[in-house]
Structure 1
């Protein structure tokens, strides 16, 4: 099985490649003549977002005994991260439920290799304190900040549909999260479609009001996505397998150590503890077989096509690769997930 694509402005794609640095790893010398892999000779380049996998793995102690070299590359959101994955600058990275779809639409060379339900209460459309906007219908004609191709993009689309509106009925302002926060706090937009920890940051630090959450509206899925090049390289592929198992154990740890995880997340990101506690309080990690994600993602795909944001017919199952399912689900179960 397989997965997702993304259409981004050229400047964003270029920025992603600059951030990614010199590129993904070439690990040919880690494979012996008999085909065995020496992980100590492997470098794995991992794309990450604010307070993401690196912070979680560190807090759970899952990086303490890694035998290969992990190089972390930070990104502001999923779309530029997947640009870097598709270019080969990053081997694997974590994103929300929407960036893979835009990447697939561009026929980028990547696969979804791990899926987890994380809930959608932290996916929200927020409005400033004192705003006269009290329903999604009130957003008609309003400026709404949102990162194009992100999970917040689909959440906004879905909420508008429930109110009988489309993107054409509002004034979408396409901004990455940091820019969106600045526009929101500066009073330059009327609402902001975003995800945690930014939702909690807007609520706790800026007094924002949550208009709606994604609970019951969006699928609450998150993914790990790997490049085709990484999956075709035996050494890198082996490192990806180990990495995903560590991540599954770390997520299980987070479910049962919320306070410790909130403190570690605050330390890693510089966010106030009450912000991270709020975000973590409404998130639970539940790994699932990647195939189980396909039906709801196909529904999302169809919605984006109807809106004109995606352009082609595809079989999403071709972009979901289940080679790691057994190992990842076993790791999560063994750790208590």
Structure 2
């Protein structure tokens, strides 16, 4: 039997809150109730003719991001140096607000974890999954205080668990509870974004916290915590590139997106090949100490670009679990996957 890991306390609990708050600067939250129509889907499914990249000098792509995410990675890898188009970046707290912004037409593209597209697709979001990166999911964890009576996931019964609704951490929590013979109704979910959740966890307002890197790594190195479970034992650790139907139906933006997803794939390969350099640049980008930055990036070293539809079965299993918990409506994940960029990305593919 594996024993839960514990991490010695460092004297940084107050600093933790400040650092986590800094991670969330510049948040944009969009709300939208737009629903995908059959006409929208058909328009996106028929890829428009691409135009020459050198004709896109006056085009600005609207790209959603999270702190230390796509922009930081591309910049560190030098993939923003020769863009044939412009990018305007918008920063969000987590994946679900990015999906809302895509549906509202506020952004054209964003990279999220494995669960936001599930919640979005279930509610008819005007999106398609156009690229995928698979990894083990070690950084998606469920934490408890080391001095608490909670030693395993089964001990969460009747306890308050902080989690971001519709995030990868939400999916991990649901699947870990199921593995332990519990359901989401057996705990008291407290739906909070990371900064709020961190404060609640530190104060003891919640008993546990389901969260992802870099927040996990930062908390592990500044708080005395116990790791109850990691996502690698129940799910994929995938990230998906999501595009709005409007962008996919526009020849110029579609052409730019075909180029952008390749840049993201190359940047991911660069990060895997240069872990120390990337960790230093990542540390600066997210304004956290180098130690947690290195931990967070070490846990992503196994990242692999895979075809957009390579994880359909795994994602459908997560979606079915949420449906079984009566948290979403049923849908086919495959219907929201668009493989138009598969040929562009083929040089970067590895087996999932």
Q: TM-score, normalised by structure 1?
A: 0.87
Out of 77, 91, 96, the residue aligned to residue 60 of structure 1 is: 77
Partner Cα separation in structure 2 for residue 298 and residue 233 of structure 1: 29
Q: Which runs of 5+ in 1 are unaligned?
A: 1-13, 19-33
Runs of 4+ in 1 over 4 A off after TM superposition: 34-37
1:157 aligned residue:
174
1:259 and 2:276 matched: yes
Residue 15 of structure 1: how far off its partner (Å): 5.8
**C-alpha spacing 1:135/1:236, structure 2 compared with 1 (3 Å):** same
Matches of 1:64 and 1:332, distance apart in 2: 24
Offset, 1:50: 1.7
Matched, 1:136 2:153: yes
User: For 2:325 and 2:73, how far apart are their aligned partners in 1?
Assistant: 36
Q: Which range is displaced more, 128-137 or 94-103?
A: 128-137
Which residue in 1 is equivalent to 2:230?
Answer: 213
Alignment partner, residue 317 of structure 2: 299
2:265 maps to which residue? 248
TM alignment of 1:183-198, pairs within 5 A: 183-198=200-215
What is the CA-CA distance between 1:118 and the residue it aligns to?
2.3
Residue 269, structure 1, aligned to residue 282, structure 2: no
Q: Which moved more, 1:280-289 or 1:34-43?
A: 34-43
Q: 2:305 aligns with which of 287, 292, 298?
A: 287
Distance apart, 1:329 and its partner CA: 2.9
- Stretch moving more, 74-83 or 121-130: 121-130
Distance 1:240 1:207 in 2: 43
Looking at structure 1, the residues matched to 99 and 185 of structure 2 have their Cα atoms a distance apart, in angstroms, of: 27
TM-score relative to the length of structure 2: 0.84
- 2:326 aligns with 308
Q: CA deviation at 1:315?
A: 2.3
Contact 2:62–2:90 (CA<8 Å) still a contact in 1? yes
Q: Could you list the per-position Cα deviations for residues 219-250 of structure 1 after superposition, in whole angstroms to 9, with x for gaps in the alignment?
A: 11110100000000000011111111000000
Q: Report the CA distance between 1:216 and its aligned residue.
A: 2.4
Partner Cα distance (2:135, 2:116) in 1: 16
From 219, 237, 250, the equivalent of 1:233 is 250
Root mean square deviation of aligned Cα: 1.8
Equivalenced residue count is 305
Q: Which position in structure 1 is the counterpart of 2:114?
A: 97
Whole-angstrom distance in 1 between the partners of 2:256 and 2:100: 21
CA distance in 2 between counterparts of 1:87 and 1:187 reads: 37
Do the aligned residues in 1 keep the contact of 2:28 with 2:92 (CA within 8 Å)?
no
Contact 2:165–2:191 (8 Å) recurs in 1: yes
2:64 matches 1:51: no
Q: Displacement of 1:275 after TM fit?
A: 0.7
CA distance 1:70–1:141, shift in 2 (3 Å): same
Partners of 2:169 and 2:233 in 1: CA distance: 15
- Counterpart of 1:6? none
**TM-superposition CA deviations, 1:172-215 (whole Å, max 9, x none):** 10001111111111211110001111110110122322111111
